[in-house]
Amino acid sequence: MAATRINTINDKRVFVVGVGMTKFEKPGRRENFDYPDMAKEAGTKALEDAGLNYNAIEQACVGYVYGDSTCGQRALYQLGMTGIPVYNVNNNCSTGSTALVMAKQLIQGGLADCVMALGFEKMERGSLAAKYMDRVNPMDKHMEVMVETHGFEAGPPAAQMFGNAGREHMEKYGTKPEHFAKIAWKNHKHSTNNPYSQFQDYYTLEQILAAPKIHDPLTKLQCCPTSDGSAAAIVCSEDFVKKHNLEGQAVEILAMQMATDMPSAFADKSCIKMVGYDMSKKAADEVYKQSGMRPDDVQVVELHDCFSANELITYEALGLCPQGKGGDMVDRGDNTYGGKYVVNPSGGLISKGHPLGATGLAQCAELCWQLRGMAGKRQVSGAKVALQHNIGLGGAAVVGMYRLGFPQKAAQRLQAVPASMVAPESFKCNDIFNGIRQILEKDGASMVKKMNGVFCFQVKGEAGEGVWIVDCKNGTGSVKFGGPAKGDVTIMMTDQHLVDLLTGKLNPQTAFFNGKLKIKGNTALAMKLKDLKMPEGGVGTSAAPSNTGAGTGPKPGSEFKVAPVFDQIKAEVDRDGANIVKKMKGVFCFRVKGDNGKEGIWIVDAKNGTGSVSFGGPAKGDVTIIMSDNDMLNLMSGKLNPQNAFFQGKLKIQGNMGLAMKLKEIQPKGQSKL
């Protein structure tokens, strides 16, 4: 039962009305993804979620760990240059939530009514390392505790610190390595339903335990990766929420508290306390006091699982279970669906990824989606109260409590099809809408004059349903992903059929009478769809999908030497696709670098339906093969041995190595076998 909330001078209510984030990526994997690009994407999504223009933002708090001193300004200039105050924040791994704390305090203090909290990180591959060797390391005292209690071994220092905290827990309370592995298993499983997650692969408990050991008891699959990515939240006062009719989606921050290290972090010679147990507990206790809530009132939790050992330790610090009983909580399943709490439905840092400056705000986004019932396949049933925990060594712990601010209004609102349920990048048609957006940016006034209407596209893809709003009626036009699904005309199609329609492969009349195209609203406006078609070859930097119309220009991808090989693969898939899919059960992505520096992407889908072969992005598959054009041709024709190519650096493989070994099965008939 909830306790009575403690009234304070800071009792002014604070709400999150819009959130957005990028997909978290392996550092350097996504092209054209520097920090201004990722910040623009996350910030735009948050503004669109709130239905606000950037001019409504009065101040901004921007968090990042790696970068120069005014990266915050440079990131926000992508959204607008309105002269507002911008505060750059760095608090190690709790940087994103620290920016959120600052935004909340600006609202509570009456200094602003609408603040953006933005976090991003562009990271290097590999484990974290010290950057400055000519000054005192801020974690020197933390390291002293670890060395005195457990010594120093080869391996990443952070893994040793948290791994030794796990060892200490085992020694004190009898926890087993399997308990930590079960937490990683859970988080990897959760991430399979999160399109924003860096990793979306399922692993068995045996695979997690058998993964390479990083620092006993932690294996590689129990450690978070380095990541690129961004997340944002729009934080507002109650007056602002009501003025802009945002009650239906406003999530209230009931309480949020930051705590830093206390003497026990060093004096008690405990690795558990050194990695933040006491400061997490202090922040949590204060949040429970301020909010009037107790752990039993919470249904969903996003907490800082940089390593699986820390998630277990944090259960106890947050009061989700008694001290020393984290292992029992894991064994009962009280940390996942069907248990007392669902912890890290997003996949957590272990699987979703950990771009340091973005993590705390990505946690906020996930919890807002959960409370608004907009988390898709990972939705926690009956989620009404949510708890957040984000920690940075050095140190700072942030704990927050959330719930819907106006539950009755939320229940009455028209349910939008949100951008949060699935990422736009999950759809094949996303590149086309990006192309339309570029056309509007270039010549929107003429397009608006010609079209004079708002198109709503409801698209059914493999990951779920997405909505695009193409406004060719107001201003210079715009393209928005996410609901509400309202327009002068609504077009309803599957993802592939829409691609075929907008690239000229599918006749609209035929599609309509075959039931592939459904239209609601202004049918006369629907007849103008042809004016939204992509030109031959696509638009902008994204590669256009294959079969882009019946124009007379060169076939997309024909400038690559290896193109005829993929034509042969396509012919084989067209002839015997069902058997190929049955045998392969995987999607291959081939990234081919041409002599002129241009990259071509082929997707060989041997997993869905009767299979397909397409040229163009996005570069997504179960396994990605990266080679030069000439080397790829030699490999596929049997002139280049794959093992030699791999060890010579001519062949790079990302993703499912087991699937990569089946490459010979899709090689064109008549070629030498790989």
Residues designated as active site: 93, 354
Four-point Cα dihedral 337, 20, 620, 559, nearest 10: 170
How many Å apart are CA 584 and CA 253, to the nearest integer? 48
Return all residues near 520 (Cβ < 8 A) that are at least 6 apart.
Answer: 489, 490, 492
Which among 429, 349, 329 is positioned nearest to 93, based on CA atoms?
349
The CA-based dihedral angle spanning residues 197, 201, 205, 210, taken in that order and rounded to the nearest 10 degrees: -110
Tokens linked to 332: 């009962």
Show the tokens assigned to 107.
């609202």
DSSP 3-state assignment of 446? helix
CB atoms within 10 A of CB 84: 16
How far apart (Å, rounded) are the C-alpha atoms in residues 432 and 533? 8
Taking the CA atoms of the chain, what radius of gyration do you get in angstroms?
Answer: 26
Q: What's the CA gap between 282 and 277, in Å, rounded?
A: 9
CA 634 vs CA 37, 605, 640, 651: distances in Å: 36, 22, 5, 11
What is the C-alpha to C-alpha distance for residues 383 and 117, in angstroms, rounded to an integer?
Answer: 24
Record the tokens describing residue 482, joined without a space. Answer: 């996410």
Please, are residues 302 and 389 in contact by the beta-carbon 8 Å criterion?
yes
Encode 169-216 in three state secondary structure: HHHHHCCCHHHHHHHHHHHHHHHCCCCCCCCCCCCCHHHHHHCCEEEC
Residue 657 CA: distances (Å) to CA of 125, 226, 435: 20, 21, 33
- Tell me which amino acid residue 385 is: V
Alpha-carbon distance of 606 to 53, in angstroms, equals 43
Cβ pair 283, 398 in contact under 8 A = yes
